[in-house]
Structure 1
Amino acid sequence: MTVLLTVVIFLPVLVAGVLLAARPPDRAAGWTWVTASAVELALIGWMWWRYDPGPGSTGVVDGIAYEVDLRWIPTVDAGYHIGVDGLSLPLLALTGVLFLACAIWSLREKNEPRTFAALFLFLQTACLGTFAALDLILFFVFFDLTIVGMYFIIAGWGHGNARRSALKFFIYTFVGSLALLVGFIGLFLGGEDRTFDMVALAENPPLADSPVAGGLVLLAIGLGLAVKTPLFPFHTWLPDAHTDAPAPGSAILAGVLLKLGTYGFVRIAMPILPEAWQRWAMVVVVLGVVSVLWGAFVALAQRDLKRMIAYTSVNHMGYVLLALGAAGLVGQADEEARTVATVGAVYQMVSHGLLTGALFLLSGVLWDRGRTYAFDRWGGLAGPAPVFAAAFAVAAFGSLGLPGLSGFVAEFQIFAGSLPGAPVATVLAITGILVSAGLFLLAIQRLLTGPLVVPTAAGADSDDGGVDPERGSAGHAREAATATLERTPTGTVTRMRDMRGPELAAVVPLLVLSVVLGLLPRALLDVIEPAATAVAQLVAR
C-alpha cells in the first residue's frame, strides 16, 4: 500500500502528458479529465477509509500513513519523503473534490480544452504533492510548481487584464517562495542533524537555544506562507488574480492554493519552531485579526461579486491564523483549548475550500450569462433562475457561519479555542462575523431580490469587463452574453437560463458536503483531532 500515495500524486500529471501527446478530440479530452479526477477522488476515498493513525499516535511523528521515504539528495539529507496524517488527509480529499468539480464544470470549455485540462491536471499533482510532502525541499518544489500552473491558467484562459493579473500573481508568490526557501535553509543549518526531513526536525527542533536566529527563520518562512495565504498586507495580488481568472481557476486558487499557506504554518512553522512560534504568537494573532477585519470591511465596499468573494478569502484565512497564533499563547495547562483552536483552523480550511469554491463557480454562471460581475447589472434572479438563487444562498449562508453548515462548526471551534489565550483579539474577530453577515446578505439582496435586472447587449462590452481582449472581439462578447437571455420582440429581457448540466453537477456536491460537515462534523473531526493534538503538544513543549 505504500505505493498508493505516489500513484495518487502523479496520476494526474501522467494523464496530462497523455492528453498533450495523444491530442484526442476536445470532447474526449474533457471527459478524460473528468475520469482521471474521479479516479483520483476514489483513490483518496480509499485512503481515507483505510486510514488509521493508531492508538496513542502523535500525528506528526508516528501517526503517518502511506509513508514512502527514499533518499533523493543524500549530501543534504533531502529525500522523497511523503505520507499523510490528520492534517494532510482532509486537504488531499478537498483537493480531489474541487478538481473533480472543476473538471465537470469545464466540460463546456471551448478554448484549447486539451491544454486547459492538462494544466489543471499538472496543477493537481503539484497541490497533492505539497500536502503529502514530509521533506522541506520536496515541499518547496511542489509549492513552486503550483505557481507555474496557476500562472498559465490565468494568463491563457482569463479575461480582462488576465496577463497582467497573472504576472502580478506570479511575482508576488514567487518572491514569497524565495523567502520560504531561505527559511528552509535556515532550518537545515540550525539543526544538529543537518536534514530537511520534517519528521526529524519536529522530533528535534532546530534553533531552540537561539531566539534571534529562530525568530529570523520564522520570519522568512512566515513571509513566504503569508503571501500565499494571503494575509494583510501581502494580499494585494489576490483580488486581481481572482477577478480575471476563469471560474475553475478562481475555485482552485481560493479552495486549494490558499490552503498551501495555512497548511505550511501548521505543518512546518508550529511543530518545527515551537519556541519561536510561542514568542511571536501575538504578532500572528494580530495579523490574523487585522486580516479578518480588513478582508470583511473591504469586501463590504466592493461593487463586483468576484472581488467581494476574493476579499472574503482574506477574512476567512485570517480566522485560521488567529486560531494558530492563539494556540501558541494558551497556557501549558490548557492543552484542550490549544487542540480545539488547531482543529478549528484545519476544519476552516476544508469548509472555506468547499464554500468559496462553490461561490466562485457560481460567479462563473453570471459571467457566462452576462459577461460582468458588477452588482448593478444584476437583480431579481430568484425568479428566472431559482436553482442558481438557492445554490448562491446556501453558499453565502455557509460562508457567514450559519448553524447547520460547515462554516459554523469551523468558526465556533476557532473562537472557543482562541478565547482563553487571546480574549481581546477573539472578541474583535467575532465582529468580523457581523460584517461578513452584512456583506453576504447584501449580495443576496442585490442579486436575487427585486425586479429582474440583467446585462443588455449594449452593456455586455462596457468597461465593467464585457470585452475579453485576450479571447474575442466585442461582437463575440455580446453574442455570448446574450445567448442565454430570452427577450421580447422589443428587446426586453424576460428571463435568464438557470443552472443546468455540468454547472449543477459541479456546484451541488460542494454544497451538499458543506451541509454534511455542518450536521455530522464527527466524520472529519475524528481524522483531524489526533494530529491537531500532537501539534498543540509540540508547540507547548
Structure 2
Amino acid sequence: MLTLTILVPLFGALVLASGTRLDARRARLCALPFGLVPLLLLAAAWVGFDGSAGAPAFQHVVDLPWIASLGVGWRLGVDGISLSLAAMSALLFVAALAWPQVLGARARHWYAWLLFLQGVSLGVFLALDLLLFYVFFDLSLVGMYFLIGRWGHDDAPRAALKFFLYTLAGSLAILLAILGLTLGDAPLSFDMRVLIERQPLDGGGLRATLVLLGFVFGFAVKTPLFPVHTWLPPAHVQAPAPASAILAGVLLKMGGYGLIRIPLSMMGETFARHAPWLAALALASILWGALVALAQSNLKQRIAYTSINHMGYSVLGIAAAGSMRAGETPARQLALSGAVVEMLAHGLITGSLFFMTGVFWQRRQDYEMAHYGGLAGNAPKLAAAFIVAAFASLGLPGLAGFVAEFQIFAGTFVLHPWMAAIALLGVLVTAALFLQMVQRLFFGTAPQGQPAFADLRGVELAVLTVLLALVLLIGVYPAWLLLPIERAAAMIVGG
C-alpha cells in the first residue's frame, strides 16, 4: 500500500513527461487520477491504523532489502504523526493538481513535476530508513526548483536558485549528521526503528553535539527558522500559487517532521541538553516572522513571513517536548501533539491563503495590497474564504489554529513559563497583521479606477471549500485527528 503511494505519482510523472503534447485541461485530467490514488491509499491506511495502547508504534510496514552490506532497505511505515502529515500532503497535492493555471504549451511538464514532487514528498514522511529518507528529502528540492524557476514570475530563476542553494546546504548538513549518527555503531543500520531503540549517541560528548547541530541546521533551513529563513519570501513571491501552497503546506513540514523523527526520537538525551537553544531560535522566528510580516505591503510576501512565525510555534512545541523534566511527561506529550497539529493546521490554512493569492494574480497580476480595496462587494465568496483562513491563522477558537496553539502554549507553559509568555506576544502581532490585511483587501474604499474583480469560480471554490472545511472540522471536533498523534507523541517522549 505505502509503496504504491510513492510509486503511482512517480509513474504518472513519467507518463506525462514522455507523452504526447496536451493542452492544460487534458494534462490536468490526466494528472489528477495519479494524484488521487495516494490520497485514497492513505485514507485506507488511516482507516486500518490501530491507535490503541498495545498497538505497534509503526504500522503498515514494508521492509525489503536494498543495499544489504550497508544495512539500507526499502523501509516504509507510519505512526500517527507521519500518517497525518502524509495524508495532509496528499490532499494539498490533489488541490494543486486541480487548481486552474494558465500554462500554455508546457502544461504536461508542469503536472509531471507536480506528480514527481508528490511522490518524493510522500516518501519523506513514509520512509523508515535514514538513507531513503535523505534521498527523498533531497529530491524534493529538484521538483520545487523547476516549479518555481520555470513557471514563476519575473525574478523566478533567481529565487529558485536561492531556494535550491540554501536548502541543498541544509540537506548536506543532514547527510553528514546521518553519517555521524550511524557510522561506528555496530552492526551498521539505517533502520529508523533500530536507531530509535539504540539511541546511539546518548553518551554525549563533542560528536553527539556536532551531529545534533548538523540535524538542527539542516532542518532549520527547511522549516525555516530565523536566521536561515531568507530564501523563503522571494521563493513564495515568485512561485505560482499552487507551488507556493505546496512549499508552505508540505516542504516546510519536512523540517519540523525531521526534527521529531530523527534528533528528538534518536538522540533524546543530547536533544534535551540543547533544547533551550532550539526554543530560543523558535521564539526569535515567532517574533521576527510576525513583526516583519506586519511591515509588508506585498500580499504574498506578508503571508510568506507568517509561515516563519507559525513554524516557529511548531518548533517551540518540539523543543518543549524534548526537555527532559522529571514528572512533566504529560506536558511534553501535549507540546509535541500541538507541534504536529500546528504543522497540519498551517498546511491547510496557509495553503488555502496561497491558493487565494493565485486568484489575485490571475485577475490583476498584482500582489500590492494598496491597489485593492472593497473587494467584499465584488467577490463575496473570496472574501468569506479569506476571512475564515485569516481568523484560523490568528488562532480563533473553533478553528484548527486554536487547537494547535493551545496545546503548544499549555505544554510549554508547564515546562518554560517565560518562553510561553514571550511567544504569546507573537499571537497579538499575528492578529494585527491579518486583521489589517483583511481590512485593506476587502473593506474600506476601493482605489479610484479599480477594475471589476471576478469572484471565485467552480474549481477554485471547490478546492478552498474542502481545505477550509477541514480547518473547521479540526477546530470543532479534533478528537479524530488527535488520537493517532497523541499515541505517537506518547511513544516518543515516554508515558
Q: Shorter-chain TM-score: what band?
A: over 0.9
2:343 counterpart of 1:349: yes
Q: CA deviation at 1:20?
A: 2.0
2:460 counterpart of 1:512: no
Amino acid in the other structure paired with 2:489: A
2:198 counterpart of 1:204: yes
With normalisation by structure 1, the TM-score equals 0.89
- Identify the residue that residue 475 of structure 1 maps to in structure 2: none
Q: Secondary structure at the match of 2:183?
A: helix
Amino acid in the other structure paired with 1:515: L
Of the candidates 465, 485, 494, which is equivalent to residue 528 of structure 1? Answer: 485
Q: Deviations over 1:254-309 (max 9, x none)?
A: 00000000000011110101111010010011011110000000000001010000
Q: Is residue 191–residue 205 contact of structure 1 (8 Å, CA) maintained in 2?
A: no
Q: Is residue 63–residue 74 contact of structure 2 (8 Å, CA) maintained in 1?
A: yes
- Identify the residue that residue 50 of structure 1 maps to in structure 2: 48
With normalisation by structure 2, the TM-score equals 0.98
Of the candidates 279, 289, 298, which is equivalent to residue 304 of structure 1? Answer: 298
Size of the aligned set, in residue pairs, is 494
Q: CA deviation at 1:501?
A: 1.7
Q: CA deviation at 1:510?
A: 0.7
Amino acid in the other structure paired with 1:509: V
Q: CA deviation at 1:19?
A: 1.4
Q: CA deviation at 1:504?
A: 1.1
Amino acid in the other structure paired with 1:34: L
Q: Deviations over 1:408-438 (max 9, x none)?
A: 0000000001111111111000110000000
Q: Is residue 403–residue 518 contact of structure 1 (8 Å, CA) maintained in 2?
A: yes
Amino acid in the other structure paired with 2:18: A
Q: Deviations over 1:212-261 (max 9, x none)?
A: 21111000111111100000001000000000000000000000000000
How far apart in 2 are the matches of 1:152 and 1:200? 36
- Identify the residue that residue 109 of structure 2 maps to in structure 1: 115
Q: CA deviation at 1:24?
A: 5.3
- Identify the residue that residue 472 of structure 1 maps to in structure 2: none
Amino acid in the other structure paired with 1:128: L
2:157 counterpart of 1:160: no
When Rg is computed on C-alpha atoms for both structures, the one with the higher figure is: 1
Structure 2 counterparts to residues 346-385 of structure 1, below 5 A: 346-385=340-379
Amino acid in the other structure paired with 1:233: P
Identical counterparts, % of pairs: 48
Q: Is residue 53–residue 65 contact of structure 1 (8 Å, CA) maintained in 2?
A: no
Q: Is residue 298–residue 369 contact of structure 2 (8 Å, CA) maintained in 1?
A: yes
Amino acid in the other structure paired with 1:94: M
Q: Is residue 343–residue 525 contact of structure 1 (8 Å, CA) maintained in 2?
A: yes
| Greater Cα shift, 189-198 or 390-399 | 189-198
Structure 2 counterparts to residues 170-185 of structure 1, below 5 A: 170-185=164-179
- Identify the residue that residue 455 of structure 2 maps to in structure 1: 498
2:11 counterpart of 1:14: yes
Q: Deviations over 1:45-80 (max 9, x none)?
A: 1111111144334xxxx3211111112112221111
Q: Is residue 191–residue 201 contact of structure 1 (8 Å, CA) maintained in 2?
A: no
Q: CA deviation at 1:537?
A: 1.6
How far apart in 2 are the matches of 1:150 and 1:270? 27
| Greater Cα shift, 225-234 or 18-27 | 18-27
Q: Is residue 51–residue 483 contact of structure 2 (8 Å, CA) maintained in 1?
A: no
How far apart in 1 are the matches of 2:385 and 2:20? 36
- Identify the residue that residue 230 of structure 2 maps to in structure 1: 236
- Identify the residue that residue 29 of structure 2 maps to in structure 1: 31
Q: Deviations over 1:295-353 (max 9, x none)?
A: 00000000101000000000001001111111122512111101000000000110000
Q: Return closer, same or farther for 1:111/1:426 CA change in 2, 3 Å cut-off.
A: farther
Question: What stretches of structure 1 of length at least 5 have no aligned partner?
Answer: 455-491
Structure 2 counterparts to residues 73-112 of structure 1, below 5 A: 73-106=67-100, 109-112=103-106
How far apart in 1 are the matches of 2:222 and 2:304? 13
2:423 counterpart of 1:429: yes
2:135 counterpart of 1:141: yes
Amino acid in the other structure paired with 2:472: V
How far apart in 2 are the matches of 1:236 and 1:41? 32
Q: Return closer, same or farther for 1:190/1:54 CA change in 2, 3 Å cut-off.
A: farther
Q: Is residue 5–residue 37 contact of structure 2 (8 Å, CA) maintained in 1?
A: no
| Greater helix proportion | 2
Q: Secondary structure at the match of 2:65?
A: strand
- Identify the residue that residue 417 of structure 1 maps to in structure 2: 411
Q: Secondary structure at the match of 1:112?
A: helix
Q: CA deviation at 1:108?
A: 5.0
Q: Deviations over 1:472-520 (max 9, x none)?
A: xxxxxxxxxxxxxxxxxxxx44631111122112222111110000001
Q: CA deviation at 1:190?
A: 4.5
The alignment yields a C-alpha RMSD, in angstroms, of 1.3
- Report runs of 4+ in structure 1 exceeding 6 Å deviation: none
How far apart in 2 are the matches of 1:91 and 1:305? 27
Structure 2 counterparts to residues 311-350 of structure 1, below 5 A: 311-350=305-344
